[in-house]
Chains A and B, each alone.
Chain A
């Protein structure tokens, strides 16, 4: 087990390194990139000097690459010209917002998805199953940002039930430091999390329904029923436990989706996470921020996969024996 873990860890680090290298070369190929000293468009002289020194902007490419890696390991992702602060700082402020959004969306995703999937499996081929099944398919096929726009229009602009965007009231709650501010934060979080979560929930529901149905038909469930156990117990204890196993992989698969979907949802709701940071940076041609965000996102995806693999290995002894 330990050997396997070490191998996986090494592989993960290698992947992140590869992504960083690719990013480095891609930026250098692009015209107008600030990595090339004569192309800089920004007049902030002090910052430019610092970058020149620490990133070796006027040195040959291999040297720049080494400095680039060294800076990465030190946590220096460059300087944002638009925000006038180190990229790492800007990302550090933005990541928690993306995480809370993704986490809240994940909660909604699984709560709604699970409930829906179970209900559909139980009422298989019934009216409820068909209607909900198609509705779920429809929601799962929507562009997340479009759903966001529609929800914004109806619930925020027309009905005034929710705010029109942003993470909090800037006057009353610049920081979440009290219960009313926490509630205010949750109120602002509701629509964006719903947007992301519902689209995912639809997919989860479909998956869960199929998984439940497969398990229900299996022998041990029939045995449990024959033993005279009550329907509910049969369902919840036996079927669910085994249908839950692929859930871990589902988390691993959902995570990149959430990070991707978050980009557009954050844009629509002016949510100050990594996605909005990246899009704003693109419009400003703030390259260090764009590449920094892409790199950090990749690292998170790799980490997510690693955790998912570890959890899977822990939960399913068959995996361990195979020594995957």
Chain B
């Protein structure tokens, strides 16, 4: 870690603080915003997320080494944390900090993308089911029941077992496809109550088609459960990806992901605990932040609930 890296890291922290401050400022006037920040863990959670995202984006600036770089395989492997290697090196003499930072791109990226897929499908299905009722609703909800029957991990294991050499984009898509069921239920519940409201009948009276009503009028008002699902969903995806990569079934070597970093260092845990410990800590921190923000969002956006 040289001076520029430290400066960049400091800059990222400052940037994250600024982002959080800006968000606070802009939401001070809204009721939801005030309710959000009343949670003691909301601000730290937002900061952690902003920090990790900033660091991930600024990876080349913050990381002193490239993620694949095996620096000196016979002298610097399994090196303890020091001033040169902030979090030590792994058994292949790769800088753990650099891999952590680049791994953030992969792990956070997979989390976000898979979540987008899952939430999009879940929201669409839930909205259609809740709005159309008739036979569409029970049919779709049976589909959801089937989807909820198989634990996500097992579904992914089955898929990975049957397809060899899964490309990462397909992997992300599949994670998304296995995770939209809970969201659809939430959205459906919300839409069920919304469809009786006046703005819906007004839109219909004006001649809007079903699709338009659903996607332009109803869904935006059902945003609350969607947003909360999204926040919590990323955390679940990150944990799932970490587990699969740990088993060797996720992101392939040498691409760093927090999950396969834990796998790389597992066998040397007794003599070099840092390779596996820090990626795990990173996952825990980010998921914790996501949980905190998700909780705060749920309380902020749901007008009927009382703050606990």
Contacts and interface: CB of A to CB of B under 8 A. Distances in A.
Interface of A: 11, 14-16, 18-19, 22-23, 26-27, 29-33, 130, 134, 137-138, 140-147, 149-150, 152-153, 157-158, 209-210, 213-214, 256, 259-260, 263-264, 267, 278-279, 281-283, 285, 287, 290-291, 293-294, 297-298, 301-302
B149 A298 contact: yes
Contact of A146 (B162, B270, B283): B283
Given A137-B292, A256-B151, A278-B157, A22 B146 contact: yes
Given A15-B149, A150-B280, A138 B270 contact: no
Contacts of A264: 153, 243, 246-247
Contacts, number: 138
Contact of B270 (A147, A153, A281, A282): A153
Contact of A143 (B151, B154, B164, B239): B239
24 contacts: A11-B145, A15-B145, A19-B150, A23-B158, A26-B162, A27-B162, A30-B163, A31-B163, A137-B41, A141-B283, A143-B284, A145-B262, A146-B242, A147-B280, A153-B269, A153-B270, A263-B153, A279-B157, A283-B248, A290-B157, A294-B150, A294-B157, A301-B148, A301-B151
B40 interface: yes
B276 interface: yes
Given A27-B162, A267-B247, 7 more contacts: A15-B146, A141-B283, A142-B284, A147-B280, A149-B262, A290-B158, A298-B150
A260 B152 CA distance: 7
Contacts of B262: 143, 145-146, 149
B266 interface: yes
Contacts of A16: 149
Nearest to A14: B142
Contacts of A293: 154
Contacts of A140: 288, 291
B277 interface: yes
A262 to B, nearest CB: 9
A176 to B, nearest CB: 28
B273 interface: yes
Interface in B277-297: 277, 280, 283-285, 287-288, 290-292
A260 B284 contact: no
Contact of A32 (B151, B159, B164, B247): B164
Nearest to B164: A32
Contacts of B248: 283
Contacts of A281: 161
B192 interface: no
A149 B150 contact: no
Nearest to B273: A153
B203 interface: no
